[in-house]
Amino acid sequence: MKNSIAERVYDFLKNYPPFNILKDDDLLEISKQVSIVYLEKGDTLFKKGDAFNEHFYMVRNGAITSFHTNNNNVQEIVNISDAGDIFGVRPLIAKEDYKLTATANEESIVYAIPIDTFQAVTNNNASVYKFLITAFATNAYDPYTAEETGKIFADYLPSTSQDVVSFQTANYTKNPITCDFKSSLKDAAITMSTYKIGCIIVVDEDIKPVGIITNSDIKNKIATGLFPIETPVTNIMSTPVITNKKDLTVADGQLQMIKHNIGHLCITKDGTVNSKLIGVLTHHDVLVTLGNNPSVILKEIKRAKRTKKLRTARLKANTLLKSYLEQNIPISHIIKIISQINDAVTIRAIEIAIKKMPILPPVAFSWMSIGSQGRKEQLLFTDQDNAIVFQDVEKDVYEETQAYFLELAKMVTKSLNKIGFEYCEADMMARNSEWCKSVTNWKLQFENWILNPDEKAILLSSIFFDYNCVYGDNNLVDELSDSIYETLSKTSLFFKFLGRDALKNPPPLGFFKQFLVEESGEQNDLFNIKSRALMPLIDAARLLTLSNNIKGINNTSERFEKLAEIEPNNKELYQSCSYAFKALSKFKTKQGLLHNNSGKLIELETLTKEEKLKLRRCFKPIQEIQETLKMRFDLKNFM
């Protein structure tokens, strides 16, 4: 005889995660053991402090409010679960008493699912466990514990796919061939020939690496007659060498090579040049391990002579980005790789443009990326934000000098547009005379923004605080930064304006834990993940690092990680903000690749229940960090 109640339970559960990924027979077995609980409005299902029981719960109809009672006996609503939502998962995960009270928000029907039966059926199912961890963390009262934060973001760690090899220890050459720093180049070349190797490490009497000689060095410096064959190796070796420790990963080695534009990493006992050489990791070692990798794309970029070639190479980066996301490579690594590629594209576009100019740049200059590229967070094709700072010149040649750089910028921004980076709608680009100035004029501009803040000043300065030198003289940017921080020390009012701006977007969830969507125009009913979730974290991180006089860190997640170091009392909150930003960035990027757009506007109906749970989890730190800003900068009467 058929169990009609179990079948009705089965028909409901199969539509919601994690039950929708179970086998039919397993789901039916669970459905047979489900108890049905009827609740009137105000009825309590369990209370804070109750011992955990053998069930967790899913709402069938109605809504269940979970709340915490604070020390002043005031109830604080933590979550409202509606149809299809799981709650009360803590017993399954933490094996501890309930930390919340659950009551019916209205007349409700709840399914009580026995833990023992569920565990027996879903044993060793990683996907089910991952979903329950997500549901657990989403409904937990304390969202900032290390245990919960670590587990919820397990989805953003490497999977078991083959690309996880990137995060294994690099297989470097042990006991590399070396020569003494007193040797002649001839002796070193003979050794290289004997062992059929393409490079040799120069060491001192303590076997510490002091330089490296490659076949290219011999070709360019000896075969051309610059030095005689008997010259000391110290005359032609590349020094200092770049070193690392023996336990570096393939990904770390790859990043070092990209960053320093080298093909060899010296492995030393303690990772520095001051300890004994124990091995060498070559670019070939990395290529053999990884196969296709960003180094190939970067080589294409550096060799490109036309914008068309640059576009082709940059499009390959999108393919690489998609592959990395599918294989759950950590988002922090993905960001570093794509940022290196974006910077390389910009550098090559500038180099090509300079060759087309009638003369070389008349004075030193720096091309600054601002906004998302300046923060090294630009994963997809977005609009351009850039500026030029050039060396001070005499007043009578200022306009002529500026005109040169405006023409250069016009060519570069045109190339970037052809590659796929849209023009900035507000024209915040180096081709605009407002964003192309001498270092002194830039100092005056920032001084005016900071000491005379208004809405426009805050908007413009917020964008420009996230700048990064991509090409040219970095000293000009350092000089500008020093001036900015000196001016900031003269005022506290500016931080209040920045704080008010950081609070312009409220937390992404409404009172009943519903997503706050756009309410007008073409964006009506769409969720703007950029303005409602990412920007509050970006703005908060910027304000807190500026007020703490933290220089040289522009990336949002890295800013929060640095704040966690210097403010131990808020460590868990800052770490939670950092993790949330990474997860939201990954989510936005996936949406952008899926819909071939920027990913910032999301149609909520297209998301699964699990995806919504992950988003809600990421939203938790936003409200807390905004409350922190209100208190720290005394903003309650400044809104």
State the average pLDDT over residues 410-426.
92
Q: Which of 93, 44, 94 is nearest to 64 (CA)?
A: 44
Could you give the CA distance from residue 528 to residue 545 in angstroms, rounded to a whole number? 25
Nearest of 82, 89, 84 to residue 136 by alpha carbon: 89
- pLDDT of res. 277: 94
The arithmetic mean of pLDDT across residues 268-282, rounded, is 92
More confident residue, 475 or 248: 475
Q: What is the mean pLDDT of the chain?
A: 84
Give me the pLDDT at residue 151, please: 38
Element (H, E) at 310: helix 307-326
Whole-number Å distance between alpha carbons of 57 and 64? 10
Specify the pLDDT at position 3.
62
Nearest to 125 by CA among 226, 30, 51: 30
Strand, coil or helix: 454: coil
Ranges 44-53, 175-184, 201-210, 557-566: which has the least confidence: 44-53
pLDDT given for residue 291 in this prediction: 46
How far apart are the C-alpha atoms of 373 and 468, rounded to whole Å? 8
Least confident residue range of 103-112, 288-297, 315-324, 612-621: 288-297
Q: How confident is the model at residue 166 (pLDDT cuts 50, 70, 90)?
A: low
Provide the b/e sequence for 203-236 (b: ≥16 CB within 10 Å): beeeebbbbbbbeebbeebbeeeeeeeeeebeeb
For residues 121 and 115, the answer to whether their CB atoms sit within 8 Å is no
What confidence tier does 163 reach under pLDDT thresholds 50, 70, 90? very low
Rounded percentage of the chain residues whose pLDDT exceeds 90? 40
Res 597 pLDDT > 80: yes
Side chain identity, residue 598: S
Size of the chain in residues: 639
Helices (H) and strands (E) in the chain, counts: 24, 21
Q: What is the mean pLDDT of residues 579-587?
A: 90
- Mean pLDDT, residues 385-392: 95
pLDDT of residue 1: 40
Q: Residue 578: name the closest of 531, 551, 545 by CA.
A: 545
How far is it, in rounded angstroms, from Cα 107 to Cα 37? Answer: 11
Mean pLDDT, range 390-394, rounded to an integer: 96
Position with higher pLDDT, 128 vs 343: 343
Q: Please, what is the Cα angle at 143 between 610 and 21, to 5 degrees?
A: 20
Q: How far is CA 355 from CA 96, 120, 367, 419, 638, in A?
A: 68, 69, 16, 18, 52
For residue range 513-562, what is the model confidence (pLDDT) as tens digits? 678 777 777 777 788 899 899 999 999 999 999 999 888 898 999 999 99
Give the integer Cα–Cα distance in Å for 573 and 40.
37
Model pLDDT, residue 155:
37
Lowest mean pLDDT among 150-164, 394-408, 601-615: 150-164
- Cα gap 539→556, rounded to integer Å: 9
What is the rounded average pLDDT of the residues 219-229?
89
Q: What angle do CA 450, 456, 460 make, to 5 degrees?
A: 70
Measure the CA–CA gap between 582 and 62, rounded to whole angstroms: 34
pLDDT in tens, 111-158: 999 988 888 887 766 667 656 655 554 444 343 333 333 333 333 333
374 pLDDT exceeds 70? yes
Q: What is the pLDDT of residue 336?
A: 86
Pairwise CA distance, residues 592 & 526, whole Å: 14
- Tens digit of pLDDT for each residue in 167-204? 567 778 888 999 999 999 999 999 999 988 889 999 99
What's residue 150's pLDDT?
Answer: 38
Residue 266 has pLDDT above 50, yes or no: yes
User: Is the overall model pTM greater than 0.85, yes or no?
Assistant: no
Instruction: Report how far residue 553's alpha carbon sits from residue 543's, in angstroms, rounded to the nearest whole number.
Output: 12
Contact criterion met (CB below 8 Å) for 199 and 264: yes
The tens digit of pLDDT for each residue in 281-302 reads: 987 777 656 545 687 788 888 8
Nearest to 52 by CA among 103, 19, 87, 83: 87
Examine the pLDDT at 84 and tell me if it is beyond 80: yes
In the prediction, which pLDDT does 285 show?
75
**pLDDT recorded at residue 558:** 92
Contact 201, 279 (CB under 8 A): no
Mean pLDDT of 212-235: 90
Both tokens of residue 120?
A: 């027996």
HEC per residue, 91-127: HHHCCCCCCCEEEECCCEEEEEEEHHHHHHHHCCCHH
Interval 363-389 mean pLDDT: 90
Chain position carrying tokens 């920027």? 598
**Which parts of 347-416 are beta strand (E)?**
365-369, 386-390
Given a cut of 80, whether residue 91 has pLDDT beyond it is no
